[in-house]
Amino acid sequence: MIGDRKVLFSGMQATGNLTLGNYLGALKNWVNIADEYLTFFSVVDLHSITVRQDPAQLRKQARALLTLYIAAGLDPEKNCIYYQSHVSGHAELAWILNCFTYMGELNRMTQFKDKAAKHADNINAGLFTYPVLMAADILLYQADVVPVGKDQLQHLEITRDIAQRFNAIYGDVFTVPVPYVGKAGAKIMSLQDPAKKMSKSDENPNASIYLMDDPDTILRKFKRAVTDSEGQILYREEQPGIKNLIDIYCACAEKTPQETEKEFEGRGYGEFKAAVGEAVVSVLRPLQEEFARLSGEKAYLDGIIKQNGEKAEYYALKTLRKVQRKVGFPERIR
């Protein structure tokens, strides 16, 4: 809590291209709830380097992601939109919190095991302590709530454990965050394997809709989407491909599954896939147009990056200085 407003923190990694799943499952939801909180939306580029990155590409993708936040509807005058790497407090607090985190806790993190399996040639310490940096991201701003998916819930739990452990030793230092409870964002699955989430790192380009895909590409990907041989447009677990397409259509056309079933009763899969594609094109067109416009406003974006970076640093330092005093670091002489 800062003043009379609860604090919300969230962020996305500056790697890969955002998908329709990232937009409908998270970014769109951020926009819908932003006015309820004092918000910090970070481009978490420190997290990105647990995997080797091309430096020029990482800078380009970080700027594109920050621009997308704004293009999606997050007002940078009301929301603190900033680069994680521009606020040194993230890394400084992460080191301190490393000293209050147990190896056994980190060994239990399932995401580390998954990522280590994918990057067996680069199992670095940063990959192992990734959850501690995430804890620092959240605790640095005294966040009350954090919107997280099921795959990140374990990381929020260890954040709570670290905060409570620190508070038990030094007093009431950190706000203990809770997961955001509200209308969940749509969970969008792969178009080629509806048993797994749509991912920006999927090797099959037809599995994901990227936010900058042009209309022809979007329609083609939906045309190739995996369905089944039942021939009925019904919202049920037995038809995961169709269920996923209905979820996407409902999120974009603002309809319920029941309304969608009724609308497409007796109609074929081909017609339904085309309708879903058109609905997605309609939703993404204004975002793409605003992204293109903002990308040309270099001075404006540079100003946002500077102002919001300074704002984030101001709040971060308030927490960091308190933590430094608590653990016994010497006072700074100004």
CB proximity list for 92: less than 8 A, separation 6 or greater? 320
Report d(CA 63, CA 34) in Å as an integer.
21
Residue 155 pLDDT > 80: yes
Residue list for the binding site: 13-15, 21-22, 137, 149-151, 188, 197-201
Confidence at 150, pLDDT banded by 50, 70, 90: confident
255 is annotated as an active-site residue:
no
Distance CA 323, CA 88 (A): 14
Residues 12/65, Cβ–Cβ less than 8 Å: yes
Q: Report pLDDT for 151.
A: 72
Per-residue pLDDT band for 311 (boundaries 50, 70, 90) equals very high
- Residues annotated in the binding site for L-tryptophan, as ranges? 137
The per-residue pLDDT for 185 is 62
Query: Residue 184 has what pLDDT?
Result: 56
Tokens linked to 167? 């508070």
Q: Which of 115, 221, 243, 273 is catalytic?
A: 115
The arithmetic mean of pLDDT across residues 53-74, rounded, is: 96
- Please identify which of the residues 187, 200, 318, 326 carries the catalytic annotation: 200
Helix H or strand E segment including 42: strand 38-43
- 243 noted as active-site residue: no
Q: What integer pLDDT is reported at residue 181 of this predicted model?
A: 66
By the 8 A CB rule, do 301 and 66 touch? yes
Give pLDDT, residue 207. Answer: 97
* Per-residue pLDDT at 173 exceeds 80: yes
Whether 171 shows a pLDDT value over 60: the answer reads yes
Residues in CB range of 310: below 8 A, 6 or more apart: none
State residue 182's pLDDT score.
61
- What mean pLDDT do residues 292-315 have? 98
pTM of whole model > 0.85? yes
Backbone angles phi, psi at 189, to 5 degrees: -100, 170
Q: What is the pLDDT of residues 229-264, one digit of tens each?
A: 999 999 999 999 999 999 999 999 999 999 999 999
Rounded alpha-carbon distances, angstroms, from residue 94 to 13, 54, 132, 152: 17, 24, 6, 18
Phi, psi of 7 (to 5 degrees): -105, 135
What is the SS3 assignment for 39? Answer: strand
Beta-bridge partners for 43? 12, 83
Mean pLDDT of the chain: 93
183: annotated active-site residue: no
Taking 60 as the threshold, does the pLDDT of residue 282 lie above it? yes
pLDDT of residue 310: 98
Which has more pLDDT, 334 or 24? 24
Asked whether residue 306 carries a pLDDT value surpassing 90, the answer given is: yes
**Residues within the annotated binding site for ATP?**
13-15, 21-22, 149-151, 188, 197-201
Catalytic residue among 60, 78, 196, 197: 197
Residue 6: how many other CB atoms lie within 10 Å: 16
Nearest to 66 by CA among 88, 43, 47: 43
Instruction: Describe the strand order of the beta sheet including 178-179 as a list of residue ranges.
Output: 80-83, 38-43, 7-12, 145-146, 178-179
- Report the percent of the chain where pLDDT is more than 70: 97
